[in-house]
Amino acid sequence: MILKSKLFGTTYQFKDIVDVFAKANEEKSGDRLAGITAGSAEERVAARMVVANLTLEDIRNNPVVPYEEDEVTRIIQDSVNKRIFGQIKNWTVQELREWILDENTTGEDIIRISRGLTAEMISAVTKLMSNLDLIYGARKIRISAHCNTTIGLEGTLSARLQPNHPTDDPDGIVASVMEGLTYGIGDAVIGLNPVDDSAESVGRILRKFEEIKNKWEIPTQICVLAHVTDQMEAIRRGAPTDLIFQSIAGSEKGNTAFGISGGLIEEARQLALSDGTATGPNVMYFETGQGSELSSNAHHGVDQLTMEARCYGFAKKYQPFLVNTVVGFIGPEYLYDSKQVIRAGLEDHFMGKLTGIPMGVDACYTNHMKADQNDIENLSVLLSAAGCNFFMGIPHGDDVMLNYQTTGYHETPTLRELLNLKPIKPFEEWMMKMGFIDEKGKMTSKAGDASVFLK
Amino acid sequence: MVNDQDLKSLVATIVKQMMNEDTVANVNPAAETAAAQQSASSEEQDACLPDITELDLKKELLVPNPYDREGYLKMKERTPARIGVWRAGPRYKTMTSLRFRADHAAAQDAVFSYVSEDLVKKLNLVPIETLCKDKDEYLTRPDLGRQFSDETVNFMKVRVRSPKVQIVVGDGLSSAAIEANAADIIPALKQGLKMYGIEVGDILFVKHCRVPSMDVIGEATDADVVCLLVGERPGLVTAESMSAYIAYKPTVDMPEARRTVVSNIHKGGTPAVEAGAHISELIKSMLDKKTSGIDLKL
């Protein structure tokens, strides 16, 4: 394993894989905050030179957090298919990159090889990808999953309906749900971030969602994004849910900070399968985001891109229906501006797909970042071209509960029209039945009128 | 109330008036404008488009022919979410998108601007600053926003000695929150504490302030209770929201659970005067029970 490279006559020596991985990243304020970035632009390229020439075996043998210390490492390492890994272990990272981009390599090929990859290999190849590489590579890979409907099929673009409310007022939440549905939002899931995490409140909102779903015969999924333990308690008390949600991290320590472990997630999944309302088999919903490990001091000195890749390796074990990175939520100390958010969004989406999970993106920003609505509109076009499974949908892009901005009800229909994408088929048929779109998929005068549900 | 229809008719009226008074035909646009300016009556010169930020979004329904207008307006009453905004094709209406950008502009300005020195002087605050050298460093280095130089720590030790209550004002993520609330909350807080026989000494103002800076202040001043009034990260609904973080004998690296928080202090949430009274009660209770945060059972 060579950890030394030369550029313009200057020699750069890197300490180990963790060191060279951090220095090879595109610039991110979070890596800077962690004190692990390259000292210069040239050193960044020198680090990439080293990464390009590492073999997949070098990387497998040097997980960034030791196997003995960390559950996430164990889950990822234990899930590697030995036969497939054996076929590719002598590939260098640059060979992996060029194989993914090769015109003769299909999505099916990539999904197969993916079973021989660890999160660190996925992070490594991502460091060598330009933005357009990330789009092109991700576009080949389709990962679908089934809960009540099937997400992620070729030619589809879905949206989570996020009807958040500052006090969880059920009527206020329902108002946002109704309007979102008329825009064709909600085929991924109708999912609320609650203010009140208690099982009682979670159950109350789930029952409300269930009532709407049944009354209007909407082919979709419902979920309330409280802490996993609160959702489990709500289910045990009889609340109906299709999906169980949880935020996850790329290290055991990070997951401990979230109050979870692999065992707990599996217990939740079993509960959703036995007592939930979904057809399945995919009944989990996970959210991630670069920088969350550093924010809980659980990053082990590792760069945020690699920790993010490890989230996906962890997620894969629990066969999720939805995974999305919340890419601009964490703040400028981790992703400084629109350039870093757009880069991270493309990286996360590509890494999720290469891991083999059904990936969506919350393309968003907070008000203390140097980003605005134009930037996330740009990102949403790039991600749609990359074959992203779903975005968020919020009234006018303004989340009145979490106080950040994301994609609005108007973005998904625009992107669908621009790029010739459709909602999930049964949901599209439901929209036609309700008269929100005509038989050609064009919006009607009912699209945008929530009061049609007041019948 | 402005919608596209109103705006269009307003523009049409202005243009019509200009046409009537300016009889010169076929002039170039610049000359036309100049002529219009010269000949316009003072009423027209004073004409101003309405302030879209004064619109109550909850009462504005832009869906042209809703199935149930009354029902829709009732739905809107139940949420501050921007619903009933209609569309231009699949895109937003011009006015709702300008309102959104106006609210975002206010939020950004609140983050990236500074509390005026005039306000600091007017309120007799004692200004200090953390180790951040500018806004950029403040936003990207939360670790520096909670530390002070040795000189500043020594200054605090000399200037403020073992007060019962140390009040601190910090810019945080919204200078607008401090500009909007500080002048109201400080007298209310002082008055409330006075009723419990607690006097307040010098109030500190921290530039580039993160919440844990109050722990350093607690150690330096040896105060029994530190109360930090700090600007919250702004949302689009308001950029003027302030929080109070209060702790009994705070120490550096103490668990977050030892802080008591009163958030959402702004005119649409808990008004500053009311919050001041509430906080003085909390402080009194902390002094009596010698604890704060989750251990403070009220």
CB proximity under 8 Å: A 185-224 to B: none
Query: If you average pLDDT over residues A12-35, what whole number do you get?
Result: 98
How many other CB atoms are there within 10 angstroms of residue A184's CB atom? 28
Which chain A residue shows the shortest CA-CA distance from B70?
Answer: A451
Q: How far is A264 from chain B (nearest CA, A)?
A: 25
- The token pair at B131 is 């180790």
- Pairing status of strand A10-13 against strand A4-7: antiparallel
- The token pair at B16 is 């019509």
pLDDT attached to residue B269: 87
Rounded Cα gap, residues B147 and B214, in angstroms: 9
Task: Answer yes or no: do A398 and B65 touch at CB < 8 A.
Answer: no
Closest Cβ–Cβ partner in A175, A336, A417 for B78: A175
pLDDT band of residue B38 (cuts 50, 70, 90) is low
Task: Answer yes or no: do B233 and A403 touch at CB < 8 A.
Answer: yes
Closest Cβ–Cβ partner in B71, B96, B143 for A454: B71
Q: Per-residue pLDDT tens for A338-358?
A: 999 999 999 999 999 999 999
Name the residue range of residue A358's domain. Answer: 145-454
Rounded Cα gap, residues A189 and A242, in angstroms: 9
Say if residue B1's pLDDT is above 50: no
Residue A282 in domain: yes
Q: Which of A52, A132, A136 is nearest to A94 (CA)?
A: A52
Say if residue B25's pLDDT is above 80: no
Instruction: Name residue A399's beta-bridge partners.
Output: A404
Rounded Cα gap, residues B219 and A409, in angstroms: 50
List of chain B residues whose C-beta atoms are within 8 Å of the C-beta of residue A397: 100
pLDDT attached to residue B12: 47
Q: What is the mean pLDDT of chain A?
A: 97
pLDDT band of residue B28 (cuts 50, 70, 90) is low
State whether residue A167 sits within 8 Å of chain B by CB: no
Q: How far is A368 from chain B (nearest CA, A)?
A: 6
DSSP states of B133-183: -SHHHHHH-TTGGG---HHHHHHHHHHS-S-SEEEEEE-TT-HHHHHHHHH
Which chain A residue shows the shortest CA-CA distance from B264?
Answer: A166
Q: Per-residue pLDDT tens for B96-123?
A: 999 999 999 999 999 999 999 999 999 9
Say if residue A276's pLDDT is above 70: yes
- The token pair at A428 is 């599209």
Say if residue A191's pLDDT is above 70: yes
List of chain B residues whose C-beta atoms are within 8 Å of the C-beta of residue A410: 87, 90-92
Q: Which of A354, A362, A293, A351 is nearest to A324 (CA)?
A: A362
pLDDT band of residue B15 (cuts 50, 70, 90) is very low
Say if residue B18's pLDDT is above 90: no
Give me the total of CB pairs closer than 8 Å, taking one residue from chain A and one from chain B.
140
Between the alpha carbon of residue A207 and those of residues A211, A241, A347, B101, the distances in Å are 6, 8, 37, 36
pLDDT attached to residue A363: 98
Closest Cβ–Cβ partner in B83, B87, B92 for A450: B83
Say if residue A114's pLDDT is above 80: yes
Residue type, B42: S
pLDDT attached to residue B298: 62
- List, by residue range, all CATH 1.10.30.40 domains of chain B: 4-111
**Total domains, chain A:** 1
Q: How far is A179 from chain B (nearest CA, A)?
A: 7
- List, by residue range, all CATH 3.40.50.11240 domains of chain B: 113-295
Residue A26 in domain: no
Query: If you average pLDDT over residues B42-51, what whole number do you get?
Result: 86
State whether residue B90 sits within 8 Å of chain A by CB: yes
Q: Which fold has domain B113-295?
A: Rossmann fold (3.40.50)
Whether the CB-CB separation of B228 and B244 falls below 8 Å is answered with yes
Rounded Cα gap, residues A318 and A283, in angstroms: 9
List of chain A residues whose C-beta atoms are within 8 Å of the C-beta of residue B234: 367-368, 403
How many CA atoms does the CB half-sphere of A297 hold within 13 Å? Answer: 1
Q: Is A246 labelled a binding residue? A: yes
Say if residue A49's pLDDT is above 50: yes
pLDDT attached to residue B50: 94
pLDDT attached to residue A197: 87
pLDDT band of residue B41 (cuts 50, 70, 90) is low
Say if residue A46's pLDDT is above 60: yes
Q: Is A162 labelled a binding residue? A: yes
Q: Per-residue pLDDT tens for B121-177?
A: 999 999 999 999 999 999 999 999 999 999 999 999 999 888 999 999 999 999 999
pLDDT attached to residue B34: 53
- Given the cut 0.90, state whether the ipTM is greater than it: yes
Q: Per-residue pLDDT tens for B188-201?
A: 999 999 999 999 99
Check if CATH label 1.10.30.40 holds for domain B4-111: yes
CATH number of the domain encompassing residue A302 = 3.20.20.70
